[in-house]
């Protein structure tokens, strides 16, 4: 049984201000009571997590504020050296990180070893590369423009790809000269504890990096509204992003948001249908469908709808669901009970609204009586007005939607409140560029291209504001000052 009862503040592990007590600002709830860490594969409690309150948050912000003047004036070389030490230690701890993610969110150990753990390292190295050449000062005639660290950055991260989001925020924030307070997801605390240990071992100056666990209504809300926090960067649901923005508004701080998605894969009529559909199913089902950019709407030519459905069903039926410790497992459980219940509700809703089940359906896969396991599910004959085509499910559920022509496919893809990502399958490169230009999304991947952590990532519409990754991601943590001689 693991007991996580410390926060990382001002360069050391400290006890919560009021262990196990409700927040004095909200005596009617238990947001500061200890949180159970649950193994989603067995539904058994494997540990407890101390939850912070406003006092803990204030201590962390004060430490970050005190450390900011010195850290913001450090040289590029000093920051690169720290990030390189962090990356070196992170690489050494990869097996520990992979096992932590497996335990806390149920991701298969094969996925944890191949992606969940290494992607955090990739983010660290990308931030180092960006920092080496970033233009902090540019000349414009008799004027020059300085880009300076914005100040104290509050970072709120989710549980689905925990190390990716932690590293994608912490690394550029430190590279920019900001000091940070991280609030990781309480559902995925084990990897965050390791990450904090790594920064401590790397010699991060006291107060430059701080971490407090806690619930959104307590620690998250306090960070967003805190007058000494200069910006908030959040990855989460659109609902959570809106709440943070509302809390941040009175202090007029910057808010960067990477939020929900309902991404469409447009399989154009010249694409190899077998390959495009099979790859689309794999991308949708990866990480048990708990990926904000997952292509959960598959748009196919109407004349080939039934053929695409048969290919998709066959692909879904080959996904090995089971014990995350088994190297043969390709899909583990959903990360927690609430997510499992939501996915079950959405599958039932799809059936009730008239979509046709081609694979999967309600309940657990055969042979799995315990654990938050869902069945890889394919819906056919979906139209874009159905709930399963409009709302983010965050589970292994794919909706196949027929379209009449290219114009109709683009219209359907853009008919969404979200605009995080889009996918295109075609054999015509120029056609791909033309269609990509018309999609109202923050990123487009063509013919199964992988995520590139060196180019900006973020969304249109209710999928968020601001960008992560690359030079644009670092710039989010900077203020712009013009000086005229």
Task: State the helix-helix crossing angle for 76-92 and 189-201, rounded to 10 degrees.
Answer: 130
Pick the CATH number of 2-259+463-484 from 3.40.50.150, 3.40.605.10, 3.20.20.70, 3.80.30.20: 3.40.605.10
CA distances (Å), 135 to each of 79, 130, 474, in order? 15, 10, 11
Beta-sheet pairing, 179-183 with 209-211? parallel
Written as tens digits, the pLDDT of the chain (485 aa) is 899 999 999 999 999 998 764 444 444 355 678 999 999 999 999 999 999 999 999 999 999 999 999 999 999 999 999 999 999 999 999 999 999 999 999 999 999 999 999 999 999 999 999 999 999 999 999 999 999 999 999 999 999 999 999 999 999 999 999 999 999 999 999 999 999 999 999 999 999 999 999 999 999 999 999 999 999 999 999 999 999 999 999 999 999 999 999 999 999 999 999 999 999 999 999 999 999 999 999 999 999 999 999 999 999 999 999 999 999 999 999 999 999 999 999 999 999 999 999 999 999 999 999 999 999 999 999 999 999 999 999 999 999 999 999 999 999 999 999 999 999 999 999 999 999 999 999 999 999 999 999 999 999 999 999 999 999 999 999 999 999 99
CA distances (Å), 98 to each of 295, 327, 372, in order? 25, 13, 20
Please identify which of the residues 104, 178, 292, 392 carries the catalytic annotation.
Answer: 292
Which DSSP category does 447 fall into? Answer: T
Please identify which of the residues 243, 258, 392, 468 carries the catalytic annotation.
Answer: 258
Helix (H, G, I), strand (E, B) or coil at 129: helix
Identify whether 292 is a catalytic site residue: yes
Residue closest to 181 by CA, chosen among 158, 157, 164: 157
Identify whether 307 is a catalytic site residue: no
Pick the CATH number of 264-452 from 3.40.50.12780, 3.40.309.10, 2.40.320.10, 3.40.50.300: 3.40.309.10
What Rg, from alpha-carbon coordinates, does the chain have? 23
Please calculate the CA angle 456-461-467 and round it to the nearest 5 degrees. 20
Cβ pair 161, 73 in contact under 8 A: no
* In the chain, domain spans: 2-259+463-484, 264-452
* pTM over 0.75, yes/no: yes
């Amino acid at each position: 049984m693991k007991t996580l009862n410390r926060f990382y503040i001002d360069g050391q592990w400290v006890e919560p201000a009021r262990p196990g007590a409700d927040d004095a600002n909200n005596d009617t709830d238990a947001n500061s009571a200890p949180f159970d860490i649950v193994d989603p594969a067995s539904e058994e409690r494997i540990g407890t997590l101390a939850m912070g309150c406003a006092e803990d948050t204030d201590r962390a912000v004060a430490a970050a504020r005190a450390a900011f003047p010195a850290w913001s004036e450090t040289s590029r070389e000093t920051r690169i050296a720290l990030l390189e030490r962090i990356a070196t230690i992170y690489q050494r701890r990869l097996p520990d990180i992979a096992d932590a993610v497996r335990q806390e969110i149920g991701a298969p150990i094969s996925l944890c070893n191949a992606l969940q753990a290494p992607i955090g390292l990739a983010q660290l190295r990308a931030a180092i590369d960006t920092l080496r050449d970033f233009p902090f000062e540019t000349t414009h005639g008799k004027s020059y423009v300085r880009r300076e660290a914005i100040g104290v950055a509050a970072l709120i991260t989710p549980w689905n790809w925990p190390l990716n989001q932690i590293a994608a925020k912490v690394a550029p924030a430190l590279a920019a000269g900001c000091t940070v307070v991280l609030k990781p997801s309480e559902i995925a605390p084990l990897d965050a504890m390791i990450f904090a240990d790594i920064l401590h071992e790397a010699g991060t100056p006291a107060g430059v990096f701080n971490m407090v666990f806690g619930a959104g209504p307590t620690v998250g809300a306090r960070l967003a509204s805190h007058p000494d926090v200069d910006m908030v960067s959040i990855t989460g649901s659109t609902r959570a992003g809106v709440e943070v923005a509302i809390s941040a508004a009175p202090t007029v701080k910057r808010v960067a948001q990477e939020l929900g998605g309902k991404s469409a894969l447009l399989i154009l009529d010249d694409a190899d249908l077998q390959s495009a559909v099979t790859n689309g199913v794999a991308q949708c089902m990866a990480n048990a469908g708990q990926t904000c950019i997952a292509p959960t709407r598959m748009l196919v030519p109407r004349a080939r709808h039934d053929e695409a459905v048969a290919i998709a069903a066959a692909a879904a039926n080959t996904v090995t669901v089971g014990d995350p410790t088994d190297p043969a497992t390709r899909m583990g459980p959903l990360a927690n009970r609430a997510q499992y219940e939501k996915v079950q509700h959405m599958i039932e809703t799809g059936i009730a609204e008239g979509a046709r089940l081609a694979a999967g359906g309600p309940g657990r896969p055969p042979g799995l009586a315990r654990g938050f396991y869902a069945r890889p599910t394919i819906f056919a004959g979906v139209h874009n007005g159905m709930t399963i085509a409009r709302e983010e499910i965050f589970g292994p559920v794919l909706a196949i939607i027929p379209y009449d022509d290219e114009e109709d496919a683009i219209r359907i893809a853009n008919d969404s409140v979200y605009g995080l990502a889009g996918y295109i399958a075609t054999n015509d490169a120029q056609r791909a560029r033309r269609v990509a230009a018309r999609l109202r999304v923050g990123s487009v991947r063509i013919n199964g291209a992988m995520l590139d952590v060196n180019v900006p990532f973020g969304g249109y519409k209710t999928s968020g504001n601001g960008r992560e990754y690359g030079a644009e991601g670092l710039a989010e943590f900077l203020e712009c000052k013009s000086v005229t001689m």
